[in-house]
Amino acid sequence: MSGQVHVVAIITPAKGKEARVGQLLTDLANKVKQNEKDVPKYELFEQYNGQGGNVFVVEEIYNNQAVYDAHFKTDYFTALGETIQKEGLLAAPLDIKTIKPIGGFASR
């Protein structure tokens, strides 16, 4: 679909904070599913075999730029950012990459 915004976000939890970050990200994913109807994909993954710690990866698709921009302004996304900062949950800054498909396939 033309105009879609594809994103991958990489979240690196601080040592010992993996469960808390996973809980918060799962809650965020559920809120996106419930409230953001123009987001056809918001899928959370956890790396399980990382050396030196695991990361979370979120694959996201927004129907257009306005929907993508609105996501960052939701109350629950703002609250998540405040919680992450207040509790010192990340070992590295949030890494959000806007990407575009150039090959392969999404499903069979």
Q: How large is the greatest C-alpha to C-alpha distance in the chain, in angstroms?
A: 43
Band of pLDDT at residue 2, cut at 50, 70 and 90: low
Beta bridge partners of 10: 57, 95
Per DSSP, what are the bridge partners of residue 11?
56
Tokens of 56: 């979370």
Q: Which residue bears the tokens 């629950």?
A: 76
Task: Give the tokens for residue 17.
Answer: 């904070």
Of 48, 52, 31, 32, residue with least CA distance to 40: 32
Q: 69-84: per-residue pLDDT in tens?
A: 999 999 999 999 999 9
Over residues 49-58, the pLDDT tens digits come to 877 678 999 9
- pTM of the predicted model as reported, rounded to 2 decimal places: 0.91
Q: Would you state the structure tokens that stand for residue 36, as one six-digit string?
A: 């953001």
